[in-house]
Structure 1
Amino acid sequence: MGLTEDPAFRATTYVVIDFETTTPTGYPAQPIEVAALALRCEDGVWKETGRSTSLIRPPAYAPVTPADTAQTGLTAEQLHQAPTPAEVLGALDRRLTAGTPYLLVAQHAATEAGVIHHQAEHCPRLARTDFLDTIPLAKHLIPNLPNYKLDTLLAHFGIQQPPDRHRAYADVDVTAQAFLRLVRAADLDPQLVDFAALVKTAGRTAKANRPVQTELFDV
């Protein structure tokens, strides 16, 4: 039985997510844009089950810098009237259906996981959702690439660079395409026979789900 035939794999909704951020000195990264694309594998066929994208107004201590604008094209003027992180992430959180198993998918998931963790009060359900990181999955399946940046994966799979690369909605689309190519390769991998093996290889536990470490000795 291949990976995509595993009932646990098919029961899961995979939400590919991408943030663009600004990184103020002394503070964690603050989101300025988010995009999410939900996918399910039903009878071996992938179906899109939801899509969301929004600009996000950063707090005053985290203004958009010229470097941010150079990378994303986003300006302070564009974000001035955007909804707050609480509004955007709260709305995204409410789209997750209780009782449905989800797995967030991201390229270099530590970035997305960090943003969500610091916004957990606005998106508690999202903050308890574990991640699948495309980088360790690609390292396992394609061991000889020079690096595992998204652009390298796109080139390897022959996926066209989007004109708006480094905008969340464009990056989430190509990340989803790369993820589906990786799943196709995983279906042929004798080590990735089921959902549990996939998570063991490329999973990242959400910080909210990690056990609290206690001190070994009282001081």
Structure 2
Amino acid sequence: MGGLTQDPEFLATTFVIIDFEATTPTGYPAQPVEVAALALRYQDADWTPVGRSTSLIRPPAFAPVTPAFTAQTGLTAEQVRLAPTPADALGALDRRFTADNRYLLVAQHAATEANLIHNQREHCPTLASIDLLDTIPLAKHLIPGLPNYKLDTLLAHFSIEHPADRHRAHADVDVTAQVFIRLIAAANDNAQLNDLAELMKLAGRTAKCNIPIQGELFDIKPPGEPDLRGRNSW
């Protein structure tokens, strides 16, 4: 057995699996239409869910739900027209994170989630400051030789049931969590990764808000600390 799940830093971390569904308007960055998150802690030699959040998000007028998007996700223009605004939906998610806990976001192809979060950072400053863990490089390291490392391929490899509502954020979060748990078990069983630092070196992604900006090139005032009082945390 490896030391990964015995590492104090690993045990102190809440891993938040996150997934967005988004429209991709021409000439604009992707706009979130749905977000889901599932928070997990490794406790007493097993994974424990400690919180869940899901919400539709109303996209701006320049990023409408298209027939192709509806065909893929099942979400309609009418459904998202009545959804919370990005400020409301992502603000509510942001308030789940507290200053006294350590978090890592976990995502399949984390660059997609990282960009969406960064572009919405005014609504979710705390979320936007959390680093990410990408299941794709982790899977490539632990399971070499697969034809590709798409989510459906990993589900088939691990014999995880394909959800009926695949491409909805809540369903994709659930199966991504199952993939993540199996990858951590493989790393631990084979003693390939000994602690959280090694895990992050292999598959970590720094949140864009945490990447230093050269002061002499950009005169940007750092944002104030977010108000964490009264949060419904996980």
- Do both proteins adopt the same fold according to a TM-score greater than 0.5, normalized to the shorter chain? yes
Written as runs of structure 1 = structure 2, the 5 A alignment for 1:86-97 is 86-97=87-98
Which contiguous aligned blocks of 4+ residues in structure 1 show a shift greater than 3 angstroms? 213-216
Q: Which residue of 2 aligns with 1:50?
A: 51
Amino acid at match of 1:3: L
1:22 and 1:29 in contact (8 A); partners too = yes
Task: Please give the alpha-carbon distance, in whole angstroms, between the structure 2 residues aligned to 1:210 and 1:22.
Answer: 26
Match of 2:21 in 1: 20
Contact 1:2 1:188 in 2 (8 A): no
Q: Is structure 2 residue 99 aligned with structure 1 residue 133?
A: no
Aligned to 2:122, the other structure's residue is in SS state coil
Deviations 1:122-166 (A, max 9, x none): 100000000000000000000111100000000000000000000
Other-structure match for 2:62: 61
Distance 1:105 1:190 in 2: 21
Please state how far the C-alpha of 1:214 moved relative to its aligned partner. Answer: 6.6
Residue number in structure 2 paired with 1:174:
175
Corresponding residue number in structure 1 for 2:212: 211
Give the residue type in structure 2 aligned to 1:87. Answer: D
Q: How does 1:14-163 map to 2 (within 5 A)?
A: 14-163=15-164
Distance 1:53 1:129 in 2: 18
Hey, what does 2:200 align to over in structure 1? Answer: 199
Once the two structures are TM-superposed, the CA of residue 212 in structure 1 deviates from its matched residue by 1.4
| Secondary structure in 2 matching 1:136 | helix
* CA RMSD, 1 decimal: 1.2
Instruction: Measure how far apart 1:44 and its partner are.
Output: 1.5
Q: Kindly provide the amino acid, as one letter, of the partner of residue 190 in structure 1.
A: A
Other-structure match for 1:8: 9
How far apart are the structure 1 equivalents of 2:180 and 2:58? 29
Q: TM-score of the superposition, structure 2-length normalised?
A: 0.90
Q: Distance in 1 between matches of 2:106 and 2:190?
A: 20
Amino acid corresponding to residue 28 of structure 1 in structure 2: P
Number of residue pairs aligned between Structure 1 and Structure 2? 216
- 8 Å CA contact 1:34, 1:54 repeated in 2: yes
* Distance in 2 of aligned mates of 1:114 and 1:28: 9
SS of 2:189's partner is: coil
Structure 1 residues 201, 189: closer, same or farther in 2, change over 3 A? farther
Residue in 2 that maps onto 1:185? 186
* Structure 2 unaligned spans of 5+: 218-234
Q: Deviations over 1:87-134 (max 9, x none)?
A: 011000000011210000000001100100000011000000000000
Q: Which residue type is aligned with residue 159 of structure 1?
A: I
1:151 counterpart letter in structure 2: D
Segments of 5+ residues of structure 1 without an aligned counterpart are: none
Distance in 2, matches of 1:11 and 1:170, equals: 26
